[in-house]
Structure formats: C-alpha cells, structure tokens
C-alpha cells in the first residue's frame, strides 16, 4: 500500500529530526492522524484521502535538509 511505503520512507528521513521540538516524527504522526480523522468525518475517501495522507507525511521533510526556508527543498 502506498501510504505504508510513504510512512516508512518518511519516518526513516525524519529520524534526523527526533530532537527538534516541533518538526519531528511525533508531530508528523499527529498531523497525519488528525487530518485523516477530519477527512473521513467530511466524507473524503479514495484517491483524495490518499493524496492528503501523503501530503501530511511529507509536509516537514524539507527540515531534514535545511531548517531555514525549507519550503524550497
């Protein structure tokens, strides 16, 4: 499943950030869980839900390359 593969890949990357106070694996898991809950409550499913979940997983991965202006990464 794509989400399982993405989660594994992202959490391997985010291990570099475990000491960060905000942008760390715990934060990413929380964003993923809460966004999924809200999406399901609003009737989002299928490919739209999968797209949202992938975005949640990857949303902070730029911090692993550089902290400032990481959006460009």
Please state the φ and ψ torsions of residue 45, each to the nearest 5 degrees: -155, -175
Q: What pLDDT is recorded for position 20?
A: 66
- Tens digits of per-residue pLDDT, 21-66? 666 788 889 999 999 999 999 999 999 999 999 999 998 777 666 5
Interacting residues of 11 by C-beta distance below 8 A, sequence separation 6+ = 25, 28
Look-up of token digits 């993405």: 6
Given a cut of 90, is residue 18 above it in pLDDT?
no
SS3 16: helix
Q: How far apart are CA 33 and CA 63, in angstroms?
A: 20
Instruction: Copy the structure tokens of residue 62.
Output: 């730029």
pLDDT of residue 13: 83
pTM for this structure? 0.78
Give me the pLDDT at residue 26, please: 84
């Amino acid at each position: 499943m794509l989400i399982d593969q993405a989660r594994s890949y992202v959490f391997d990357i985010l291990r570099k950030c475990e000491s960060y106070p905000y942008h760390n694996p715990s934060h990413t898991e929380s964003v993923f869980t809460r966004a999924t809950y809200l999406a399901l409550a609003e009737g989002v499913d299928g490919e739209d839900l999968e797209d949202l979940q992938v975005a949640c997983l990857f949303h902070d991965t730029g911090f692993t390359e550089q902290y400032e202006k990481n959006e460009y990464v």
